[in-house]
Amino acid sequence: MSQQQTTELERMLSMKDVRDILGVSYGVIYGLIREGRLRAVRVTGEPVSRDTINDTVLGLRFRPTEVREFLRNPTIK
């Protein structure tokens, strides 16, 4: 059996899911994506660059592992 067949897929998180987990506004999430601090995947429409992410971009999803990694790496200095 190949590694791809044995890899378990996680359910992708929506913007609302991430907003609820982080306890922040959608605007903050868009800012985190633009800054490269939180990675997102666009599952609908055309590809979009990180610099053009805003509230008109639909279909953004987040891997749970990316959100966990973000929470493990606070950037307060």
- pLDDT (tens, 9 = 90+) of the chain, 77 residues, equals 455 555 678 899 999 999 999 999 999 999 999 999 999 999 987 888 888 888 888 899 999 999 999 999 876 66
Question: According to the model, what pLDDT value does residue 47 have?
Answer: 82
Distance, CA of 60 to CA of 7 (rounded, Å) = 23
φ, ψ (nearest 5 deg) of residue 39: -90, 140
Q: Please give the structure tokens belonging to residue 43.
A: 């599952």
CB-CB contact of 10 with 63 (8 Å): yes
